[in-house]
């Protein structure tokens, strides 16, 4: 069997075990296999195994890799997890099923307009910059309420939850707890948090979508 499939199965077992030990979490999170930088030949074994959720961080790369295969496997779910430029929204709305990186008003309006044109509504996470880091995307926690109201109430975007990438080299627990409580306040049930290095912690803190790259796909050469 292909390595990535073995890796996925091992992680699923671990998650099942951890979830059954933890009384507060009832449902298993979705695992998004982050396939950025990997070629389709490395991804196909996971698709053949029946895996349904995949993540990419660049629109152009995602089109090249997924446009054809998605029309053959309509049940696949493709997640845009990287920074989304407004000039790529048209293609992003057309290809992706989820966007994890909504973080500004202009982008929200652009997504709204494209969704109207394409008669499509995708599932969206608002990305929150919890560490208030200049180099990271995401809206600041203090602006979340306003931004959420604009997106969900004025534009009727389908905001399903919040996403964060905690600062590197920090203990992520507090960040995950803050995101969970922010989502609870807005009655949002989904949380996109947890990557290869911190998914166990994210799981314990209520993550519903884990974005896992290297633990499934192996080491990336670039990006
Ligand atoms: C690349 C990437 C991931 C996956 O990273 P790993 O550490 O390989 O699991 C998750 N989320 C985002 C936003 C990414 O860009």
Q: Which helix (H) or strand (E) holds 192?
A: strand 190-192
Atom of ligand 1 nearest to the CA of 196: 9
Residues 118 and 181: their CA atoms lie apart, in Å, by 34
The predicted-structure confidence for 155-179, as pLDDT tens digits, reads as follows: 999 999 999 999 998 999 999 999 9
Atom of ligand 1 nearest to the CA of 195: 9
CA of 34 to the centre of ligand 1 (A): 6
Give, using CA atoms, the residue closest to atom 6 of ligand 1.
213
Residue with tokens 């992520």: 172
Instruction: Assess contact for 206 and 180: CB atoms under 8 A.
Output: yes
The more confidently predicted of residues 222 and 162 is: 162
Residues 132 and 79: their CA atoms lie apart, in Å, by 24
What DSSP designation does 58 have? -
Instruction: Assess contact for 101 and 129: CB atoms under 8 A.
Output: no
Give, using CA atoms, the residue closest to atom 11 of ligand 1.
211
Contacts of 153 (CB under 8 A, 6+ apart): none
DSSP string, 128-177: B-TT--TTS-SB-GGGHHHHHIIIIIIS---EEEEE--PPTTS--HHHHH
Radius of gyration, alpha carbons of the chain = 17
| Residue 222 domain-assigned (yes or no) | no
| Residue 163 domain-assigned (yes or no) | yes
Give the dihedral of Cα atoms 149, 90, 103, 38; nearest 10 deg.
140
CA of 49 to the centre of ligand 1 (A): 22
SS3 16: helix
Give, using CA atoms, the residue closest to atom 13 of ligand 1.
81
Q: What's the number of domains the chain is made of?
A: 1
| Residue 146 domain-assigned (yes or no) | yes
CA of 54 to the centre of ligand 1 (A): 11
State whether the beta carbon of 208 lies less than 6 angstroms from ligand 1.
no
State whether the beta carbon of 36 lies less than 6 angstroms from ligand 1.
yes
Residue with tokens 């698709």: 47
Q: Structural domain of residue 174, as residue ranges? A: 3-217
% of residues, the chain, pLDDT over 90? 91
Encoding tokens for residue 149? Answer: 């109201």
| Residue 223 domain-assigned (yes or no) | no
The pTM of the full predicted model, rounded to 2 decimals, is 0.96
Biggest CA–CA distance in the chain, Å, is 49
Above 60 in pLDDT, residue 223? no
| Residue 191 domain-assigned (yes or no) | yes
Calculate ∠ Cα 12-16-18, nearest 5°: 115
The predicted-structure confidence for 62-74, as pLDDT tens digits, reads as follows: 999 999 999 888 8
Domain of residue 139, CATH code: 3.20.20.10
What DSSP designation does 19 have? H
Above 90 in pLDDT, residue 78? yes
Q: How confident is the model at residue 23 (pLDDT cuts 50, 70, 90)?
A: low
Residues 176 and 166: their CA atoms lie apart, in Å, by 8
């Amino acid at each position: 069997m292909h390595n990535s499939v073995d890796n996925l199965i091992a992680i699923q077992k671990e998650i099942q075990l951890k979830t059954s030990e933890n009384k507060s979490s009832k449902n298993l999170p979705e695992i998004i296999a982050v396939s950025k930088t990997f070629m389709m030949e490395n991804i196909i074994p996971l698709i053949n195994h029946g895996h349904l959720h995949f993540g990419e961080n660049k629109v152009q790369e995602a089109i090249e890799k997924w446009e054809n295969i998605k029309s053959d496997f309509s049940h696949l779910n493709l997640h845009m997890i990287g920074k989304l430029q407004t000039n790529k929204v048209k293609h992003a709305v057309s290809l992706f099923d989820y966007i994890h990186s909504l973080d500004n008003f202009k982008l929200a309006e652009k997504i709204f307009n494209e969704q109207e044109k394409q008669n499509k509504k995708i599932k969206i996470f608002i990305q929150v910059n919890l560490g208030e880091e200049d180099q990271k995307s995401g809206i600041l926690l203090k602006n979340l309420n306003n931004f959420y109201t604009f997106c969900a109430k004025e534009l009727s975007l389908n905001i399903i939850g919040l996403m964060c990438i905690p600062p590197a080299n920090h203990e992520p627990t507090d960040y995950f707890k803050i995101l969970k409580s922010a989502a609870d306040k807005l009655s949002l049930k989904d949380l996109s948090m947890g990557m290869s290095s911190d998914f166990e912690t994210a799981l314990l803190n209520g993550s519903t979508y884990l974005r896992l790259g290297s633990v499934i796909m192996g080491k990336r050469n670039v990006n």
